[in-house]
């Protein structure tokens, strides 16, 4: 149900067909809209394509239905499937139930892709065999037969994926939670439901497992779970960490950065360990939020057996992922950065805090029913001009102008106009930053399409 655009649906179809299943694909989009995914499957037989709509006849005789993560649980067809007793699963559930490797699972409202990829980089540097997949855009179903019990599998997990993994009581060996903030309330309906889905990552762990929690986020630091707990902070000093240990909260270790950006570790009831993990020196990524991501990754990788040397190498060789504060190019003294992955206000606020230079920002997009007040305030405070996109542009324009009446702000009718306006209102030495703080679905297929279009427009400026 829902082939999708990021490869998981196509991987599930191929996986099932190769194991003898008769597969029917039902998707509301047309053949033309699905062409990139369909082209990956054109060699397959035993596939019945039902495109352009979902109809009950597509599902009534199914033994089980693989649901795309984008389909919300309150979708009428999901409700009818549940009533009919037809089992539901997902691409990630299919993988999880057959995976032989040890799992490090990462979630959070922001920063989870970078943290996941950093963990993978460090564990690879340690010489252990490691696989990267999940919500980061890479299905590991095609590699199931290659993964052994000695391998590490590092998975980025969205709240949508975790909602389904809760059904099979998925239990990672090590979990990482980067932070928690309101998001996807169009899918989850309420903040409590969103939090409950995220907490699946800890729910089924035992005291044989480990979790790494960002204690700078008070919500996350208090999440329940039975796993051995490491509380990680990028702040110094962090009195809340000390209080948590002194009041008997179950924290096996606390990890924090000192003012020089060096990590320190203290075990519960023990002294400070002396290993020098020089996160600020070794991490090549912009922004304090990425120091936090690197510290969480280093802590998780240590639990997986990585040495300080492997942490240094893994951090030093890691470059920003596409669409995540990705430097695109410089034109007439203006530096262009693609942060299209930013689909929450918090991630755009972190991006704005990552630069000392004047910023012209491109922000806005699909309305996920998330409060944009703090985003508007940060744009008004930190940017010199704002080119606004999509459904949320009018709300952002009004709010930004209320906070800074003198700032040039424009709601643009299309993306090309928005980029041209940003260039027009910039000077040499400025940063032009695509960091929308909103989802992309109104103007683009997804955040990748949005980022790719930005890069193409910058290439035009470069004359490529």
CA 335 vs. chain centroid, Å, equals: 25
pLDDT value at position 247? 45
pLDDT value at position 236? 59
For the chain, report the end-to-end CA distance as a whole number of angstroms.
40
**Predicted TM-score (pTM) of this structure:** 0.84
64 in the same domain as 144? no
Structural domain span for residue 37: 8-89
330 in the same domain as 439? yes
Using DSSP's 3-state secondary structure scheme, residue 434 falls into strand
231 in the same domain as 166? yes
CA 66 vs. chain centroid, Å, equals: 22
Asked if the model's pLDDT at residue 105 lies above 50, the reply is yes
Look at residues 76, 82, 42, 45 and name the one whose alpha carbon lies nearest to residue 62.
82
What's the whole-number mean pLDDT along residues 111-120? Answer: 95
Q: Point out the least confidently predicted range of 109-113, 388-392, 396-400, 453-457.
A: 109-113
Each residue's pLDDT tens digit, 138-174: 999 999 999 999 999 999 999 999 999 999 999 999 9
54 in the same domain as 100? no
272 in the same domain as 331? no
pLDDT value at position 381? 97
Query: Which residue, of 281, 298, 316, is where some domain finishes?
Result: 316
- Answer whether residue 321 is part of any domain: no
Query: Which residue, of 296, 316, 336, is where some domain finishes?
Result: 316
Asked if the model's pLDDT at residue 106 lies above 90, the reply is yes
Q: Which helix (H) or strand (E) holds 411?
A: strand 409-411
Is 189 exposed, middle or buried, given 0-12, 13-18 or 19+ CB atoms closer than 10 A? middle
- Of the pLDDT bands very low, low, confident and very high (cuts 50, 70, 90), residue 242 is low
Look at residues 44, 42, 9, 7 and name the one whose alpha carbon lies nearest to residue 26.
9
d(CA 236, CA 340): 31
Asked if the model's pLDDT at residue 383 lies above 50, the reply is yes
Domain CATH code at residue 47: 3.40.50.720
Could you tell me how many residues make up the chain? 464
Beta bridge partners of 232: 214, 255
Asked if the model's pLDDT at residue 330 lies above 70, the reply is yes
Using an 8 Å Cβ cutoff, are 213 and 220 in contact?
Answer: yes
What's the whole-number mean pLDDT along residues 356-382? Answer: 95
Asked if the model's pLDDT at residue 250 lies above 60, the reply is no
Mean pLDDT over each residue of the chain, to the nearest integer:
92
Sheet holding 334-338, edge to edge: 326-331, 334-338, 431-434, 359-363, 385-388, 409-411
241 in the same domain as 112? yes
266 in the same domain as 141? yes
- Of the pLDDT bands very low, low, confident and very high (cuts 50, 70, 90), residue 461 is confident
pLDDT value at position 248? 44
- Domain total for the chain? 3
- Answer whether residue 3 is part of any domain: no
Domain CATH code at residue 385: 3.90.190.20
- Answer whether residue 2 is part of any domain: no
Q: Point out the least confidently predicted range of 7-11, 27-31, 91-95, 275-279.
A: 275-279
What's the whole-number mean pLDDT along residues 367-380? Answer: 94
Percentage of residues in the chain having pLDDT higher than 70: 95
Which residue in this structure is represented by tokens 């009004």? 398
Structure tokens at 21: 């299943």
387 in the same domain as 261? no
* Per-residue CA distances from 23 to 77, 140, 186 (Å): 18, 19, 30
Beta bridge partners of 327: 337
298 in the same domain as 339? no
CA 429 vs. chain centroid, Å, equals: 30
* Per-residue CA distances from 259 to 163, 234, 255, 410 (Å): 39, 9, 14, 40
Which residue in this structure is represented by tokens 């996350």? 220
Using DSSP's 3-state secondary structure scheme, residue 350 falls into helix
175 in the same domain as 81? no
- Of the pLDDT bands very low, low, confident and very high (cuts 50, 70, 90), residue 293 is very high
84 in the same domain as 103? no
d(CA 401, CA 30): 41
115 in the same domain as 130? yes
d(CA 237, CA 93): 41
Q: What is the CA radius of gyration of the chain?
A: 23
């Amino acid at each position: 149900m829902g082939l999708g655009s990021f490869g998981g649906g196509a991987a599930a179809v191929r996986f099932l067909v190769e194991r003898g299943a008769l597969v029917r694909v039902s998707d509301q989009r047309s053949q033309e809209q699905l062409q990139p995914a369909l082209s990956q499957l054109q060699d397959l037989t035993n596939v019945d394509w039902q495109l352009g709509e979902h109809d009950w006849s597509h599902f009534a005789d199914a033994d089980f239905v693989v649901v795309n993560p984008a389909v919300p649980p309150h979708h009428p067809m999901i409700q009818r499937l549940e009533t009919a007793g037809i089992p539901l699963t997902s691409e990630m559930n299919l993988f999880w139930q057959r995976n032989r490797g040890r799992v490090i699972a990462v979630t959070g409202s922001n920063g989870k892709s970078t943290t996941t990829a950093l963990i993978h980089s460090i564990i690879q540097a340690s010489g252990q065999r490691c696989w990267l997949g999940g919500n980061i855009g890479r299905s590991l179903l095609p590699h199931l037969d290659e993964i052994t019990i000695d391998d590490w599998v590092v998975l980025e997990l969205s709240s949508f994926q975790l909602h389904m993994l809760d059904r099979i009581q998925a239990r990672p060996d090590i979990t990482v939670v980067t932070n928690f903030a309101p998001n996807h309330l169009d899918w989850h309906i309420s903040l409590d439901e969103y939090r409950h889905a995220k907490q699946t990552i800890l729910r089924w762990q035992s005291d044989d497992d480990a979790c790494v929690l960002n204690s700078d986020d008070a919500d996350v630091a208090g999440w329940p779970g039975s796993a051995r707990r490491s509380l990680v902070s990028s702040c110094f000093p962090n009195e809340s960490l000390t209080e948590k240990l002194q009041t008997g909260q179950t924290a096996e270790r606390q990890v924090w950065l000192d003012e020089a950006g060096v990590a320190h570790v203290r075990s519960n009831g023990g002294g400070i360990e002396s290993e020098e993990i020089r996160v600020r020196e070794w991490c090549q990524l912009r922004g304090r939020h990425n120091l936090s991501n690197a510290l969480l990754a280093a802590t998780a990788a240590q639990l997986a057996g990585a040495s300080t040397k492997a942490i240094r190498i893994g951090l030093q060789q890691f470059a920003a992922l596409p669409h995540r504060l990705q430097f695109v190019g410089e034109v007439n003294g203006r530096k262009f950065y693609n942060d299209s992955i930013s689909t929450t206000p918090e991630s755009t606020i972190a991006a704005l805090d990552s630069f000392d230079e004047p910023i012209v920002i491109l922000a806005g997009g699909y309305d996920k029913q998330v409060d944009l007040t703090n985003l508007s305030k940060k744009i008004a405070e930190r940017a010199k001009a704002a080119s606004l996109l999509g459904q949320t542009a009018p709300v952002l324009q009004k709010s930004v102008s209320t906070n800074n009446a003198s700032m040039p702000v424009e709601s643009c009718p299309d993306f090309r106009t928005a980029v041209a306006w940003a260039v027009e209102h910039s000077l040499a030495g400025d940063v032009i930053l695509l960091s929308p703080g909103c989802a992309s679905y109104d103007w683009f297929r997804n955040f990748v399409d949005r980022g790719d279009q930005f890069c193409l427009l910058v290439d035009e400026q470069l004359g490529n």
